[in-house]
Structure 1
Amino acid sequence: MTGIVFLLCMSFGLMNGPVFADKNKLSNASYSERLLCLSTSLGSHQTSQVENSDDSQRAVPLSRSSSWWTDFPVLPLVFANSNTIPEGPCRKQVQRYLKELANSTLWAVQMFDASTKYPDGVLHGHTKHLGNFDQCYNLRAKLSPDEFSDTAEPDEVEGRYCLVRLRYQRKGVVPKRPEIFTLDFDPNLSVWNAIDYRGDFRRVKRHSVYLSLCVPASCSSQDVAAALTDPLKKLADAREIDLNVTVKPSLCQARSDVPKDFTMGLKVFLIIVVALCVLVVAGSWYDISIYSLKEPAKNNELGDFFLCFSARRNLRSIFFTESSHRGLDCINLIRFFFMACVIFGHRLMQYCGYPLVESTYLEKAYAIPFSSIIFNGPIIVDGFFGVGGLLLAYGVLRELDRSKRLNFTALILIRFLRLTPLYMLVVLFNATLMPMMGSGPYWEARVGFERDNCAKNWWTNLLYINNYVHPNKMCMFQSWYLSVDYHLHIMGLFVLWAYWQLPRRLGYPFLCGLIALGIAIPFVITYVQDQQPLFLGLPFMREARNDPYFVGHYIKSHMRIGPYMVGVLAGAIVYDHKDATWRLPKGWSRFLFILLAVGFTVISQYLATKYFDPNSELHPLETAAYAGFHRAAFALGVCSIVVLITIGDGLDFHYNFMTPRWVPPLARLTYGAYLVHNIKQSYDVGATRSPRIFAINSCLWEFVPDMVYTFGISLLLSVVVEGPIRKIEKFILTKRPTKYPAEASNSNGIKKSN
């Protein structure tokens, strides 16, 4: 009974202004229940504070007006009592909902109970209030006919879960930029100090609050917005507040919206997966039962084709750990470590999309000077570009010295065939099966957004142009790296051919000139366009593809020429000194290792500290210089590890540390890991039902299963897809079966990796 009195009291108090509920409606209520209703009405209308444009104004009690904070609207009651719901099934079911709510009918109270009543913790950044998603999403009830039904047949009601964004600010007041940004505010000053957005990009936007609302499934997001806009606007106008109501279709979900039938794309995906599994089983059976029992028949191309899918052979290729080159062997640890950093960094970025119960912890983390080493983590991809350029240079120069020519078409095609099959399979998974694997408040906004992008723009991924064509609708936000790497790979082939043609006294200056060009491009763009020098990825950003810097500068191939050419130069040095007897002295080797490998990588990250501080004075030339140099400097630090261990003396400890036997198998799985690691993270964001607390402990606790899940799936994909594709490519080129590593020994007993 207490709950019914409360509902009646709140509905009358909200819709009729500062008046008490009708005495007749409370005549049967107990003394405590009537007291509850009266105190609710009095509490919401007798106190307020001066909401003055002067932020130094202290809060004082008033009786002549209501405060936005003490009389915040109860969203489900505003919706149920709204007269602006469009005519149709939605309006009829809402009228039925209001009637059944007054009668304490289970389904109606369940719908009300699943909605957010009042936000809490907004001042500390708790701006996403999720209510109870499953209670609303799984609601279904058969209704007996009543006066609102057009037919005598029973009606049915289902729940639709919506997240309504209320964006509010003081009417006629433009927040001023303070002289000094702070994350701590005087508790005796106006609350608007902590609410208004004044340009501090570290802070979660507290003037934008998301509240959950459970409504009948017959109501669309447009119906919900129409029902709420006018009543809430009147309520806000009375309190000198500008209020904007937004209900996105992707944040308004019902179970009935989910397709029941398999789409053609899903059928194609399942057929491909089943076919690959059948080939792996057949290839493994042939390898174990037939091939190993007899001498393989010559020109048995069908049998050799099946051997490409042998799980035993592909697993042995993955776990092959023999050394091949002192310096290049160090790349395995670099690749694995950077991949782990990427997974951790993207998990950290997910906290920008998670509902956080205490965002102040995330905000204050940016105020710690050394935090820039973590928050400037995106620079790690420049280490990948440097390593990619180094490996390309070493391989191409070796091929040029061997054959004296370069087949550009074949090399570009081979690169395409190695990357694309697994890549497209993951794209197809995101477009078809992934959306059917869960649900949650942000499922459509996160997983559905990925589904739509992959379904519409998969061809840009296939052609490796997604970082220039429809970048804001890119399928798989991390896939930009593959496009940039592919573009720079093609550019590197021509650069290395030109370098090989030149005498070395001109070749090295030629490569240095290209590095200078790669540094000059971001320098000029940043200076001329007055751009930020790096990707900030701050708390207010929920989706990277909506960030102007990300889609306009960060993912562009021409912005990454510098670090890639640094890698090409390093690869040329390593190759040219592969047979040299001269070694860099021990002292110089150790000094340069500390200066370059440690100093350049750490300093290039740490210098970003000032760009995470809104109080810093930024000079255009200094900002442009950092934009131009920091990526190339980081790549130089990473590539110097390989160069110094190749040509330096006294670095045996460094070499042993960089080449543990357990690393090469994991390094071979990094490509698959890069493609799939975001799947689990997107699933977690889309399926989350409750807010979280940002803490390093939480990040690490989620990082460990991220690694196990990612590399476990990558191992499976490598055996089923990536390994067979690589072996098929070699089989086509060499016209001979792929052997075990143990079978590929030369006369000196040195084993060759597949």
Structure 2
Amino acid sequence: MYKLPWTLLLLIIAILAPTNGNLTEKVPKNQLSLSDILEYNTILFPLTTVSKAELVGEQCHARLQELRRGILQREFWALKVLDASGKQPPAFMLGDNMWLGSAQLCEAAQNGLNLDISRYVAHKMNMSLLTDKTPFDVDYRVIYAAHNSSYQTDVVYGQARQLLHIGLCVPSECNSQQLMQLVTAYFESEIFLSGDLHAIKPSLLKVKTMEFKGGDFHKMIAFKLVVVFVTYTLLMTLYAYYLRTRRLPSTNVQVKPSSFEAFVLCYDLQLNCSKILAPPDSASNTFAFLNGGRMESALIATFFHTFIMLKAIVSNPTQLFTYVSSIGNMEVAMDVFLLISGFLQTYSYLRNRSQLETIRRLNFSRSVLEIVKLTFHRFLRLAPLYYFMICITYLAMKYNDSTTVFNLSGFVTENCERYWWRNVLFIHNLYDHKDMCLAWTWFVSLEMQYTITLTVLLVVYAKHPKYAKISLLLLMIASLAYQTIVGIQVNFQISLETTFTHFVQFYAHPLVRIFPYLFGALTCWLYLEYNAQLQSFKLLTNFYCHLIHLVFMICMRPAPLGRGYTVWVETFVFVLQRCLYTMSGCWSIIAAANNRLAWHGRFLSAKIFQKAIHVSYALSLLNSLVIICLFTAGSKLVFVEPIRMFVLYIGLIIILHILSFPLTVLFEMPYRNISSLLTKRGPAKRAKSS
């Protein structure tokens, strides 16, 4: 009944509609031309629009206009140049600043695309795609531009700053200065500003030309130092080989080498290799499991460095931050390495009772000389390979910076050119991490600083045990007080961002890390002085040892009690977590030394750890260099996902061990031998004089 009126109404509307004109004519047609589309969807094409002869010169302007005409006419060579240049990718809001294009395609635009394809296989592509070449030379350049867009997540981790990386395939006649002026004019033009959806407002920093100038290397001081050091090492190695062959025993009479010959034989390649490759005797070494602990620390540090260094070269940095934040507590990961170092330094000192008696009888000036001598031995073990790696890393980064699209290597070289002296003096951990040369080597400076501090305490202990104990406790209390005060001052929150924002205050400062180092020394003293009493202690039963070990594992979590508390609570949790982590780790050492936690001790005493410990120092110095060179060599973006990263990490560890072996044999082991030689000859001279 009610359907009839509605049906008639719809019929009338349908009949009258055509009399009012065609509805489709009211919809505006797309009036955008090809040039309009290219100006708002590419970066290279609008550069040809803003180009002027007075801005970039006659030749550069002429080439850009020729390129513009080629693009609009859809010529293959011009489209390859356009396609080789970068444009804004998706996921800018998640931190993707890599607008790179393709350096390989830019080269193919000039030289043709050399593909070995069959003439008898059907292809749908136009063969001009392979053969067409640019009528002029083109180069691939990379623009680095800073931005402060509030539409992009800017999580703080890593050393390098966030920069736009814009790849451009441009005529060779346009030099870097002209290209900077051209790009600056484009950023300030209405073309860019009208399409700047995310309010990027980039500020141009520099233009990189992808070319390596080998002649410049010969002028660098770092290159000359490497040549001198390598030449010296090879000559000493060859001379040591000559002495070994000459001194092969033709009879059973053993001739004692002279002092100079003993020094040269420290460079004996066969001897140094045999020390590394010799089967370890874990059964007779009570603390063989400590080698496994140190290797674990080195591997964990490499794992973190892999993720942190990748931040500057990945297309998904925000997702990478999520992975790193959920892995573990980076703040306490290195504490195991430091407490083991403190334990071993104290153990090598206190177990030598005759040395303690000798130091106890020394006057003040002789005691100072003893401190200098012990410090020199540590310097001799740390410095040669470290200084060599500073030079090698600088040269490798310099080369890498000239051949890769990423700015990370250039950032490292700039810091090393200005602040290398801080590394040489072992004080670079006292400065802001953004100004550090080889920031991943902060632990070397700490090792040297703590060696001096603990050596002074041990010498004082030999003469005045009470004063040494009081000083040690005051330093440990000062460490905890410092962390608490700084945490409250900077509004501390348990987060990876906090670590990198206040890297020196919370991660690399001597007062922060001295607590585990001194607690390791205190643990060694307790073991040597009171181990008999400790064995009867209730907490040394298997049940309590496993309970304490569980506390150690819980403290490895980033935030075991969760987040979202007040600054005071989170600071307290942070300091407590570090204390419990260090104390439970030290108790685990005592437990393992007394055959508790046997399963863990057997695992850490495995032969693979006992052999690998010899190359752990070289591996720690080398890991970030290999990570940067490995992942930036191909100038390709890395998309991080857990399975892929795990596989890459396995391969990285294998490469690091292969490279660390020759570095250890040639540039570390000789100086260990020299240190041991000097240590043995000291008592011999005193015995002769007496």
Q: Normalised by the shorter chain, which TM-score bucket?
A: 0.7 to 0.9
Does residue 527 (structure 1) correspond to residue 488 (structure 2)? The answer is yes
In terms of mean alpha carbon deviation, does 561-570 or 425-434 score higher?
Answer: 425-434
- Paired residue for 2:143? 163
**1:732 to 1:565, Cα distance in 2 relative to 1, 3 A:** closer
Counterparts in 2 of 1:528-543, with a 5 A limit?
A: 528-532=489-493, 535-536=496-497
Letter of the 1:632 partner, please give it: C
8 Å CA contact retained: 1:85, 1:227? no
8 Å CA contact retained: 1:93, 1:157? no
8 Å CA contact retained: 1:130, 1:163? no
- Structure 1 residue 164: deviation in Å? 5.0
8 Å CA contact retained: 2:56, 2:174? no
Letter of the 1:247 partner, please give it: L
List per-residue Cα deviations over 1:549-571 (Å, max 9, x = no partner): 12454222122122222112111
- Paired with 2:461 and 2:495, the residues of 1 have a C-alpha distance of 31
- Paired with 2:181 and 2:415, the residues of 1 have a C-alpha distance of 28
**1:292 to 1:337, Cα distance in 2 relative to 1, 3 A:** farther
In terms of mean alpha carbon deviation, does 254-263 or 693-702 score higher?
Answer: 254-263
Letter of the 2:47 partner, please give it: F
**1:255 to 1:582, Cα distance in 2 relative to 1, 3 A:** closer
Counterparts in 2 of 1:192-211, with a 5 A limit?
A: 195=151, 197=153, 210-211=165-166
- Paired residue for 1:145? none
- Paired residue for 2:549? 597
1:319 equivalent among 277, 286, 289 = 277
8 Å CA contact retained: 1:386, 1:565? yes
- Paired residue for 1:637? 584
- Paired with 2:613 and 2:212, the residues of 1 have a C-alpha distance of 44
Does residue 277 (structure 1) correspond to residue 234 (structure 2)? The answer is yes
1:116 equivalent among 69, 74, 86 = 86
In terms of mean alpha carbon deviation, does 625-634 or 434-443 score higher?
Answer: 434-443
**1:499 to 1:594, Cα distance in 2 relative to 1, 3 A:** farther
**1:379 to 1:497, Cα distance in 2 relative to 1, 3 A:** same
- Paired residue for 1:490? 452
Letter of the 1:277 partner, please give it: L
**1:363 to 1:458, Cα distance in 2 relative to 1, 3 A:** closer
8 Å CA contact retained: 2:387, 2:424? yes
Does residue 411 (structure 1) correspond to residue 374 (structure 2)? The answer is yes
**1:588 to 1:260, Cα distance in 2 relative to 1, 3 A:** closer
Letter of the 2:485 partner, please give it: V
List per-residue Cα deviations over 1:360-403 (Å, max 9, x = no partner): 6435547xxxx63x242342111111111111222222345453
- Structure 1 residue 514: deviation in Å? 3.3
- Paired residue for 2:116? none
Does residue 214 (structure 1) correspond to residue 182 (structure 2)? The answer is no
8 Å CA contact retained: 1:165, 1:209? yes
- Paired with 2:146 and 2:232, the residues of 1 have a C-alpha distance of 50
1:41 equivalent among 32, 41, 66 = 32
Letter of the 1:409 partner, please give it: V
8 Å CA contact retained: 1:93, 1:216? yes
- Paired with 1:111 and 1:483, the residues of 2 have a C-alpha distance of 49
- Structure 1 residue 410: deviation in Å? 0.4
> In proportion to residue count, which structure has more helix?
2
Letter of the 1:554 partner, please give it: Y
Does residue 309 (structure 1) correspond to residue 267 (structure 2)? The answer is yes
**1:550 to 1:137, Cα distance in 2 relative to 1, 3 A:** farther
- Paired residue for 1:49? none
8 Å CA contact retained: 1:139, 1:159? no
1:246 equivalent among 203, 206, 215 = 203
Secondary structure of residue in 2 paired with 1:730: helix
- Paired with 2:146 and 2:418, the residues of 1 have a C-alpha distance of 31
List per-residue Cα deviations over 1:323-370 (Å, max 9, x = no partner): 4865422101101111111111111223312232x556435547xxxx
- Paired with 1:112 and 1:44, the residues of 2 have a C-alpha distance of 13
- Paired with 1:92 and 1:507, the residues of 2 have a C-alpha distance of 76
Does residue 228 (structure 1) correspond to residue 183 (structure 2)? The answer is yes
- Structure 1 residue 168: deviation in Å? 7.5
Secondary structure of residue in 2 paired with 1:235: helix
- Paired with 2:491 and 2:310, the residues of 1 have a C-alpha distance of 29
**1:211 to 1:471, Cα distance in 2 relative to 1, 3 A:** closer
Secondary structure of residue in 2 paired with 1:467: helix
Secondary structure of residue in 1 paired with 2:653: helix
Letter of the 2:385 partner, please give it: L
- Paired with 2:334 and 2:596, the residues of 1 have a C-alpha distance of 29
Counterparts in 2 of 1:376-525, with a 5 A limit?
A: 376-399=329-352, 401-405=356-360, 407-436=370-399, 440-443=403-406, 445-469=407-431, 471-501=433-463, 511-525=472-486
**1:563 to 1:670, Cα distance in 2 relative to 1, 3 A:** same
In terms of mean alpha carbon deviation, does 91-100 or 102-111 score higher?
Answer: 102-111
- Structure 1 residue 166: deviation in Å? 7.7
- Paired with 1:584 and 1:473, the residues of 2 have a C-alpha distance of 51
**1:681 to 1:608, Cα distance in 2 relative to 1, 3 A:** farther
Does residue 343 (structure 1) correspond to residue 334 (structure 2)? The answer is no
8 Å CA contact retained: 2:488, 2:567? yes
- Structure 1 residue 307: deviation in Å? 1.6
8 Å CA contact retained: 2:146, 2:163? yes
- Structure 1 residue 75: deviation in Å? 0.4
Letter of the 2:439 partner, please give it: F
Q: Percent identity?
A: 18
**1:218 to 1:381, Cα distance in 2 relative to 1, 3 A:** farther
- Paired residue for 1:99? 66
8 Å CA contact retained: 2:93, 2:152? no
- Paired residue for 2:645? 699
8 Å CA contact retained: 1:349, 1:537? no
**1:44 to 1:593, Cα distance in 2 relative to 1, 3 A:** farther
- Paired residue for 2:13? none
The two structures have a TM-score, normalised by structure 1, of 0.72
RMSD after superposition:
3.8
2:573 equivalent among 626, 636, 657 = 626
- Paired residue for 1:663? 609
Counterparts in 2 of 1:1-16, with a 5 A limit?
A: none
Letter of the 1:689 partner, please give it: S
2:523 equivalent among 540, 556, 570 = 570
- Paired with 1:210 and 1:137, the residues of 2 have a C-alpha distance of 19
Letter of the 1:395 partner, please give it: S
- Paired residue for 2:12? none
- Paired with 1:675 and 1:479, the residues of 2 have a C-alpha distance of 6
In terms of mean alpha carbon deviation, does 433-442 or 323-332 score higher?
Answer: 433-442
Letter of the 1:211 partner, please give it: I
Secondary structure of residue in 1 paired with 2:267: coil
Letter of the 2:32 partner, please give it: S
Counterparts in 2 of 1:576-587, with a 5 A limit?
A: 576-577=529-530, 580=532, 583-584=535-536
Please list every run of 5 or more consecutive structure 1 residues that lacks an aligned counterpart in the other structure: 1-37, 46-65, 142-154, 170-174, 176-194, 539-546, 611-615, 737-754
Letter of the 2:446 partner, please give it: V
- Paired with 2:56 and 2:157, the residues of 1 have a C-alpha distance of 45
- Paired with 1:531 and 1:259, the residues of 2 have a C-alpha distance of 49
Letter of the 2:63 partner, please give it: R
- Paired with 1:413 and 1:326, the residues of 2 have a C-alpha distance of 27
8 Å CA contact retained: 1:454, 1:474? yes
- Structure 1 residue 432: deviation in Å? 2.7
- Paired with 1:726 and 1:86, the residues of 2 have a C-alpha distance of 65
- Structure 1 residue 132: deviation in Å? 0.7
How many residues matched? Answer: 613
8 Å CA contact retained: 1:439, 1:687? no
- Paired with 1:569 and 1:85, the residues of 2 have a C-alpha distance of 74
Bigger Rg over Cα: 2
8 Å CA contact retained: 1:472, 1:551? no
